[in-house]
Chain A
């Protein structure tokens, strides 16, 4: 394979390494968040490794390095989003469970099975223990522990203003 093609495929090779590393870690350790982070890191190392073997990081090669690394970032974000859907999406959980229900499910059963209390409990549990964004204050109320997701929400708010048109007056 020519050098041109190796550079072009570096990001895809990195994604492959990301996927394999995440699978291996997840099955070995049963720690989901750590497996995703491990996969991203391994993929990045492999991508840089492929580029390093093929080129040297100089000013001349910088645009190609930048393009390949940005492509890897986008590909690994896509992989993370796919995994995250499985982990956090209520819609995906509903359709997965409905797959095993003969005869479907009534609206009342749906509301009973996926109650608002359960919906909230799962999210608060993840925010407290998994992503560590919220914490119980001394008063027993919920407080902010980290500003990471808050910053993401603020960025999404700005993006919503830019991308989405203002609502029409009805």
Chain B
């Protein structure tokens, strides 16, 4: 099965029995890699522009939407320009796997970039002091109450807990994630963290 846009180009792999690389198909494999890279780059550019035009409150939700829809843009441009490329079903899946895995990795990195990491902040704070280092009192005053309050606010604004007259309860989403991480902790042999 091939996905054809425009002029048809012979696809070698389906004509070769046995080892696929018995006839070199550099252009085809490079095209697959480039297709994945172009899709990622276009989604990233769309996100950069979107973040500067309107600053979404729920960034993760908007990120998911952008990365789901943005790949259609280079496909549409390629089709309009009459560019012909044929990918086998396996190659389309390979491109999709490449795109989805890198997108998910980027979402993780984006969360860390957006909300920051207390651990990294501590390391930077100690490094800034140079050879003289930082005392326990320095660290306690720099990473104190405001960090905790921020952390609790993130849980609340993230929709995982809600408060009623000063008492916090888990939302259904919070209960779902809590159970998921409980199970993961048992399956993967992880100590409780925090």
Residues of A in contact (CB 8 Å), total 90
What are the residues of chain A within 8 A of B77 when measuring CB–CB?
A: none
Q: How far is the CB of A113 from chain B (nearest CB, A)?
A: 10
What secondary structure prevails in chain B residues at the interface with A? helix
Beyond A11-B101, A86-B181, A90-B151, is A164–B188 a contact (Cβ under 8 Å)?
no
Using a CB–CB distance below 8 Å, which chain A residues touch chain B?
Answer: 2-5, 7-8, 11-12, 22-23, 26-27, 30, 32, 35, 54-56, 58-61, 63-64, 66-68, 70-71, 74-75, 77-78, 81-83, 85-96, 98-99, 103-107, 110-111, 114-117, 119-120, 122-124, 126-127, 133-134, 137, 139-144, 147, 149-150, 152-153, 156, 159-160, 162-165, 168
Q: Is the pair A115, B133 in contact by a Cβ cutoff of 8 Å? A: no
Q: How far is the CB of A136 from chain B (nearest CB, A)?
A: 9
Q: Is the pair B19, A110 in contact by a Cβ cutoff of 8 Å? A: no
Give bound CA distance, A122 to B105, whole Å: 26
Q: Is the pair A71, B123 in contact by a Cβ cutoff of 8 Å? A: no
What are the residues of chain A within 8 A of B84 when measuring CB–CB?
A: none
Give bound CA distance, A120 to B177, whole Å: 24
Q: Is the pair B20, A3 in contact by a Cβ cutoff of 8 Å? A: yes
The reply to whether the CB of B41 lies closer than 8 angstroms to some CB of chain A is no
What are the residues of chain B within 8 A of A88 when measuring CB–CB?
A: 119, 193-194
What secondary structure prevails in chain A residues at the interface with B? helix
Give bound CA distance, A75 to B120, whole Å: 23
Q: Is the pair B134, A142 in contact by a Cβ cutoff of 8 Å? A: yes
The reply to whether the CB of B8 lies closer than 8 angstroms to some CB of chain A is no
Query: How many A-B contacts at CB < 8 Å in the complex?
Result: 265
Give bound CA distance, A168 to B117, whole Å: 22
Residues of B in contact (CB 8 Å), total 89
Q: Is the pair A71, B97 in contact by a Cβ cutoff of 8 Å? A: yes
Beyond A94-B155, A163-B51, is A86–B190 a contact (Cβ under 8 Å)?
yes
What are the residues of chain B within 8 A of A105 when measuring CB–CB?
A: 167-168
The reply to whether the CB of B83 lies closer than 8 angstroms to some CB of chain A is no
Q: How far is the CB of B103 from chain A (nearest CB, A)?
A: 9
Q: Is the pair B189, A30 in contact by a Cβ cutoff of 8 Å? A: yes
Which residue in B25, B119, B140 is a CB contact (below 8 Å) of A116?
B140
